[in-house]
Amino acid sequence: MSAIHELQPHALWQYFSAICDIPHPSFHEEQIREYLIGFAKEHNLEWQSDAVGNVIIRKQATPGMENRTGVILQGHMDMVPQKNNDTVHDFPTDPIKAYVDGDWVTAEGTTLGADNGIGMAATLAVLAAKDLQHGPVEVLFTATEETGMIGAQGLQQGVLEGKILLNLDTEEEGELYIGCAGGTRIEISGDYSTESAQGGLTFKTLSISGLKGGHSGCDIHLGRGNAIKLLIRVLHRLEAEGVRIASLNGGSLANAIPREASAVIAIPEASLAACDNIIDQCRHELSAELANAEPKLTLALSDAAPAAELMSLRDQNQWVAVVDACPNGAQRMSDSIAGVVETSLNLGVLTINEGKIKAHILPRSLVGSCIDALSDAVAGLFRMLDAEVVFSDSYPGWKPDPDSRILATMKRVYAELYGQEPGVQVVHAGLECGLLGSKYPQWDMISFGPTIRFPHSPDEKVHIQSVARFWGLLVATLKAIPEV
């Protein structure tokens, strides 16, 4: 079994190994920051840090390259701390035990931190190299990306001088990323009045399950079922038979497509057979509509313990109608990049219990004004019910520019190096480029990286050959950066 120290490119893997030895989970980044500053001092490179913990290191152009456009190489210094249940590991103090497993490097029982340790290691290898050709280079190591993008949020304007940003934090070698979605979190809370349950009612639990779920951005174009929306749709139909809601529980996170939702309902005994018919009909409809996307969809009715209180009829009618009418899923495709979702939203959480309703909705878009417009529409809908609507965690998108100069340069360089065209991608999720570009609107930005599988999980692994190709592309791109 070969060791990480024997892998090529040698310098990059040496630095990656050093990074693994230094604990650096989000919010415990002091040691890695010290390491980066120590590296700059040791190599006589100009450095600075800022109030939010970002570190910037500068390297002058190599001889003859002084007139090239300044480049910023950027990665984040924190990693997601996840471990298997049976792994003993204390992230703030213990080193990551990385090892070679066939074509991949992975870690013993924990996240590896290839996200974004490989990106960081590549920048250190550029800074230390004596045999590369490049113009003026600034390296921006951002703090605490994985939880709230705190470093990118707090980066000051006017600090960086380069005009081209190479973000090294995407996870599919051979793909160039030129845009990402921004988003905002909408939290809705409302009160409803209750009524005592009368006699002659049968209590049941109506549930939707077996759905695939997924990431509310990256998977939103797949047409999967949203358990909350499907449940509400069925409840809306059942209202004709006098069905009443006692409580409801759907989804768990704003940024996950809800896989399951259930409601405790009261059915008038005279309507039991009619309700069974409606549910059968809904089951057939949903199974047919989602035959490919959700083959395991289950709509079930089971016995439930009686509840003392029901949602008042008026409040129930209004809330069910509004949630049913609330937009959800992909709303518009990009008109500049074919096949890419521009604007979407996900109703991720809905709870109705003890007089309180809560809902979490996450709109995303490549275009900032589209997030605002969709947010206004959703807020207006729920404010009609006197609900409180709160926005938080907003971050801007990065609108793709198909005419970007760095895109043209890198496409050419990639084709020359590897004899094929790279893919061009836009992610319907957040990258730091959105925030960074909002501070430095003149930047020409692009993102690329090696192939990483299962990031943010203990199965995280990075493909060794893709690291070499990623490095080859980085080095050749630096050499090919156009003159100012």
Count of C-beta atoms within a 10 Å radius of residue 81: 21
Secondary structure class of 476 (helix, strand, coil): helix
Active site residue 309: no
Q: Which of 440, 365, 359, 444 is nearest to 409 (CA)?
A: 444
In the complex, minimum distance from the CB of residue 460 to Zn ion, in angstroms, rounded to a whole number: 11
Place of tokens 């210094």: 77
Catalytic residue among 78, 171, 294, 444: 78
Residue 272's contacts (CB-CB under 8 Å, 6 or more residues apart) are: 202
Instruction: Identify which of residues 342 and 432 has a Cβ nearer to Zn ion in the complex.
Output: 432
In the complex, minimum distance from the CB of residue 152 to Zn ion, in angstroms, rounded to a whole number: 11
In the complex, minimum distance from the CB of residue 76 to Zn ion, in angstroms, rounded to a whole number: 6
- Token duo for residue 195: 């009524």
Instruction: Identify which of residues 79 and 323 has a Cβ nearer to Zn ion in the complex.
Output: 79
Active site residue 145: yes
Instruction: Identify which of residues 23 and 75 has a Cβ nearer to Zn ion in the complex.
Output: 75
Place of tokens 């050709």: 133
Instruction: Identify which of residues 171 and 315 has a Cβ nearer to Zn ion in the complex.
Output: 171
In the complex, minimum distance from the CB of residue 334 to Zn ion, in angstroms, rounded to a whole number: 23
- Token duo for residue 71: 């480049």
Instruction: Identify which of residues 26 and 216 has a Cβ nearer to Zn ion in the complex.
Output: 26
Instruction: Identify which of residues 26 and 351 has a Cβ nearer to Zn ion in the complex.
Output: 26
Beta-bridge partners for 55: 49, 141
Assess contact for 332 and 370: CB atoms under 8 A.
yes
Catalytic residue among 29, 115, 138, 145: 145
In the complex, minimum distance from the CB of residue 12 to Zn ion, in angstroms, rounded to a whole number: 17
- Token duo for residue 54: 């970002």
Q: How far apart, in whole angstroms, are the C-alpha atoms of residue 402 and residue 177? A: 11
Q: How far apart, in whole angstroms, are the C-alpha atoms of residue 250 and residue 259? A: 8
Q: How far apart, in whole angstroms, are the C-alpha atoms of residue 436 and residue 193? A: 46
Chain-centre distance for alpha carbon 332: 19
Assess contact for 34 and 101: CB atoms under 8 A.
no
- Token duo for residue 470: 């990623």
Q: Which of 109, 123, 103, 159 is nearest to 36 (CA)?
A: 123
Q: Which of 37, 41, 59, 44 is nearest to 143 (CA)?
A: 37
Q: How far apart, in whole angstroms, are the C-alpha atoms of residue 226 and residue 359? A: 14
In the complex, minimum distance from the CB of residue 417 to Zn ion, in angstroms, rounded to a whole number: 24
Instruction: Identify which of residues 144 and 271 has a Cβ nearer to Zn ion in the complex.
Output: 144
Give the residue ranges of DSSP H helices in 196-258.
227-238
Encoded amino acid at 449, one letter: G
Output the CA–CA distances (angstroms, integers) from residue 423 to 405, 414, 448, in the order listed. 16, 10, 11
Instruction: Identify which of residues 115 and 342 has a Cβ nearer to Zn ion in the complex.
Output: 115
In the complex, minimum distance from the CB of residue 452 to Zn ion, in angstroms, rounded to a whole number: 9
Q: How far apart, in whole angstroms, are the C-alpha atoms of residue 443 and residue 164? A: 5
Give the residue ranges of DSSP H helices in 186-250.
227-238
In the complex, minimum distance from the CB of residue 397 to Zn ion, in angstroms, rounded to a whole number: 17
In the complex, minimum distance from the CB of residue 102 to Zn ion, in angstroms, rounded to a whole number: 24
Instruction: Identify which of residues 381 and 462 has a Cβ nearer to Zn ion in the complex.
Output: 462
Assess contact for 56 and 47: CB atoms under 8 A.
yes
Encoded amino acid at 52, one letter: V
Interacting residues toward Zn ion by CB under 5 A: 115-116, 169
Place of tokens 């039991």: 272
Catalytic residues: 78, 145
